[in-house]
Amino acid sequence: MHEAPASAQPKALTPEQTTILKRLFPEQDRLTQPADTLAYSYDNSQRQSIPAIVVFAREEQQIQELLGYCNTWGLPLACRGKGTGTTGASIPPIGGIALSLERMNAILEVDPDNRLARVQPGVTNQQLQQAAAKHGFFWPPDPTSAAVCTIGGNLACNAAGPRAVKYGTCRENTLGLSAITGRGELIHTGVRTTKGVVGYDLTRLLVGSEGTLAVITEATLKLTPLPEARRTLQAVYPDVTTAATAVSAIMAQPITPSALEFMDGQALQMVRNYADPGIADDAGALLMIELEESAAAIDSAASQIAATANIPGCLSVEVADSQDQVSRLWRTRKALSPALRNIAPKKINEDVVVPVSRIPDLIQGLNTLAEKHTITIVNFGHAGNGNIHVNLLIDPDDPRQLAEAEACLDEVFNLVLGLGGTLSGEHGIGLVKREFVSREIDDPTLKLMRQIKDLLDPNGILNPGKTLP
C-alpha cells in the first residue's frame, strides 16, 4: 500500500485535446515532456504517477473552460499546490492532467478592521502570515511545511499544525470560498462575517475534500490578532502514562495552550542517538507547551500551567525566560525529524487521533504491536487534541519488513478506532488511507458522500480514486 508503484507511461493526448490545451494555456504555462512533468508526478508520500500534461492556471475562467473540456473528453485531473502532502492526495491520474495552482498566488485583500484576508490558492502559508503580521494578525493553521505549502493545499486537506489545539483547524478559520465544481460551475460559499446561517455550510464541506468536489480558486480567511506575549515550557516524565495524565490535567483547566506537543520514550531515545538533547536518561516522555496570552496575563498563565503539569511523578518542569532558553527547550523536538530521516528515510508516518484521555491506551497498544511485529514505532505529535504521529521505521525494500508493516498498520487503525479515534487528523486520506475509510464511516453515510460527489462531479473527473473507498 505504501510502496511506490511502477510509473506507467501516460497515454498521449489527442491532436484535438493538444490544440485546445495550447489555446487555454500558453507555452510557459504547460509542461508536456516527461522530464518536466516528472516533478509534478508525486508528493511527499511514496506514490507517483505521470500525467499527460501539467498546466498552470492563472485565472478562474481558464479552470472553468478546462473542466468543461475534461467533462467532454472524460479526461481526469488532479489539482495541486507545492506537493507537500503525505497521502498521495495530489498525485495526478496516469494519462490525465496535473492542474497546478501555484501561479494563482495573489493576496487580494488584508482587512484588519474585519479581521479577514482574501487570497488565491497558490499563496504560501508563510506569505499569508507575513502579510497578516504587518497588520498585527496571523492565520492560525501552521503546518510543519508552512514555509512552502500553499493555502489551497492547506484547505484541501484541512491541514492544521500544533496551534489547532487553541485556535482550531482550517475549517474553523475559513469564512468563505470561491470554487469551480466538477461540473465546471463557479460557486461562492460562506460569508465575510463571523456569523451567518443562510443556506447550507458548503465551505466546511469543501475544506478537507482533497480536490474531489471542486477546485478552490479563492479563500476568505479569518485572521486572529498576534499575541502580545508567548511562553515556552518543557515538562519531562518517567513514562507515557504520567505524561498523558498531565495532558488531561492541562486541557481541563481554563488556560488553553497554543501548542502542546508530545514525544514518547522511543522518540527521545532516537534523538539521543542522533544528538545530545539535554534530557535526563530516565525520561520516558516529554511535553513541549507554548502559551500565547496578553502581556498582563502571561506570567500568571505560565505559573498556572507549570503547576498543573507538575503532577506526581513529574521529573521536571522548566519555563523559558529568554529566547536562548526557548531555543534550548525546543532543541529536542527539532532534532527528532532529522534523526528519523537519518535512521529511516522511508518510514511510514500516520497521523491518527484519539480522545486525549485515551493517549496512554494508544501508546501501550502501539508498544504491543511494535513488539509483535518486530518494528520500531516512534510516537510524537499534538497531544492537546490527541493527534499523534505514529512512525513505523522500516526498510520498504525488505519484503519481510514491508509485510510486517502492512499487517501492523492494519492493527494500528483497528486500535485507534477501538479507542474512539479517527484515522487522520490533518494529513488527509488521499490514496494511502482510502481502503481503511469504510472501517470508520458506515455504509449509509458513505452512500450519502458518494451522492454528493456525483452531484458536484458527475463524470468523476476531479481527483478520481481519492478519499472515498
Please give the Cα distance from 120 to 151 (Å, whole number): 8
Cell (9 digits) for 14:
489527442
What does the pLDDT look like over 6-27, one tens digit per residue? 445 667 899 999 999 999 999 9
Give the three-state DSSP class for 88.
coil
The sign of the CA dihedral 397, 403, 404, 409 is positive
Same domain? For 149 and 243 the reply is no
Which pLDDT score is estimated for 1?
40
Same domain? For 250 and 373 the reply is yes
> Of the candidates 87, 97, 103, which has an alpha carbon nearest to the alpha carbon of residue 47?
87
Same domain? For 235 and 373 the reply is yes
375 and 394 Cβ atoms separated by less than 8 Å: yes
Which pLDDT score is estimated for 140?
97
**Regions of the chain with pLDDT less than 50:** 1-7
Same domain? For 370 and 281 the reply is yes
Instruction: Show the domain range for 306.
Output: 229-418
Please give the model's pTM, rounded to 2 decimal places: 0.93
> Of the candidates 145, 42, 91, 46, which has an alpha carbon nearest to the alpha carbon of residue 405?
46
Same domain? For 206 and 311 the reply is no
Which pLDDT score is estimated for 3?
39
Tell me the Cα Rg of the chain: 23
Which pLDDT score is estimated for 283?
93
| C-alpha pair distances (Å), 85 with each of 47, 90, 150 | 11, 7, 10
Domain membership flag for residue 68 = no
Domain membership flag for residue 295 = yes
Write the CATH number for 287.
3.40.462.10
Neighbours of 395 (CB within 10 A): 14
Same domain? For 332 and 397 the reply is yes
Write the CATH number for 138.
3.30.465.10
> Of the candidates 398, 354, 342, 352, which has an alpha carbon nearest to the alpha carbon of residue 374?
398
Nearest-10 Cα torsion for 128, 130, 132, 135: -160
Same domain? For 250 and 374 the reply is yes
Which pLDDT score is estimated for 4?
40
Same domain? For 149 and 270 the reply is no
Find residue 391's DSSP bridge partners.
349, 378
Q: Which amino acid is at 343?
A: I
Residue 449: CA count within 13 A, CB half-sphere: 16
